[in-house]
Structure 1
């Protein structure tokens, strides 16, 4: 089994006291982390907190990086783009973000997310997402499902948001077509503007009844659709966002996009976001495999 390498960091809110998100994640996922042997290249204070907790005691895969003020998060960005000393680049990053911590919008934080999206690697920023992603990697490695996280894969009680920037709308339709049966398991699907219309056309072509839209359409992103979905996330009426972001163009409604992302992080235990086609396919392939095995 190839060694997985992830960057790892958490804002102070998520590691300062026991019971914070970092510890809740490890309480649920430490077993999977050990099974997979994931290397976590971990920024200073986050590493200190994990060591004090004992939740990964004697685990050789916990690798210390400098404190954030000494460039630790900056180093993670570089390792997402290329390896070091002949090693492969990071496979992704888990950065548990406090949405009101100013450091969450420092250049290195924004760059970490952008480089993960650019290179098609997961950027995980919520507790729900971190627990789920360890399970996704377990399933991808051929390990049996962890029944302790079955609740995350009970899509019949969840709402999924499907959003795509203009250059990636075709890829969103292709993704939905390939995983139509899986996405149809959700209790409800929502989306913005044109993307919703195209996804509904796809569903109707697949036999979905025209009297009931497959995707409930909100406004387009620039007119407030992202903000409408953010409100649903905050009300815990939407648990998942698959947002195909184009990292190479300036967005006229960047503030609305950031609002949606912050909303997901506010309810960190109850929502998660996938931000690129490559990661969405990996998630969907593993989720479909897991559900097929359960069936």
Structure 2
């Protein structure tokens, strides 16, 4: 498994920075899985300045961002099969107030991950959660340190889908209805929420109860309302099925929600494609089945 890796300066500028918190939490899992981390220059330099991945052959250095390192990650997410340079996804720990997070190569990295249905991981929580789900798929025993990510009965889940992705969201919710019903609360923007409630009622959910709490539609501010939940740490997981091919008038609201997720980097997990969401759901089901009753 080959993953691109980059972190804004804030996230590797001191001993307790986000990059190092992730490596301390997941270094063993990275080694168990043999994940190859293709790290942009400064991120690579920051890692080797510590002993967190000492002696690990899977850490690969790419050029500095100013020399095209992030651009190379974008190309390899798309895939350069003639050279064997294909990445399975990208971890980009974003400082939401750093202007480099809006540079074309940064935006393109996320967009190409979404288009090619590969993980785009932008928070510490998402990175830890991803390592655990890959460990479960690889057959390793659950890591007790990851139990908090799977305490669904204490969490709120946001379910958001752009217009072209609403059928996939409904199909996903139908397939994993029992798992998603374990969450303490579910929230959604307008139309998606109505369709999800109709699905739940058709599955026997009490007709007098909403399966999801509906906020405004995205263009009317629903994304901003859910962003506030995230910032207040009242929403821990966001499934956001994005359509990267259509320009939207409320793009600023979408970006606001995504920036809110990265602002609370240790507390919010965000998934941006159906394929990655299904892989998480399958791991969550397997993990729950493996735990003692």
The interval holding the TM-score normalised by the smaller chain is over 0.9
Deviation of the 1:98 alpha carbon: 0.2
Match of 1:94 among 91, 96, 102: 91
Gaps of 5+ in 1: none
2:48 corresponds to 1:51: yes
> C-alpha deviations, 1:105-126, integer Å up to 9, x for none?
0000000000000000000000
Deviation of the 1:144 alpha carbon: 1.5
Residue in 1 that maps onto 2:239: 242
Gaps of 5+ in 2: none
Give the match's secondary structure for 2:46: helix
Deviation of the 1:83 alpha carbon: 3.4
4+ residue segments displaced more than 4 Å: none
Q: Superposed, which structure 2 residues align to 1:1-295 within 5 Å?
A: 4-83=1-80, 86-87=83-84, 89-294=86-291, 295=293
| Worse-matched range after superposition: 77-86 or 259-268 | 77-86
> C-alpha deviations, 1:204-252, integer Å up to 9, x for none?
1111112220100000000000000001100111111101000011011
Instruction: Give distance in 2, aligned partners of 1:288 and 1:187.
Output: 17
Counting matched residue pairs gives 292
TM-score, with normalisation over the residues of structure 1?
0.97
TM-score, with normalisation over the residues of structure 2?
0.98
Contact 1:83–1:90 (Cα < 8 Å) also in 2: no
Deviation of the 1:269 alpha carbon: 0.5
Instruction: Give distance in 1, aligned partners of 2:145 and 2:266.
Output: 15
Give the match's secondary structure for 2:49: helix
Deviation of the 1:257 alpha carbon: 0.1
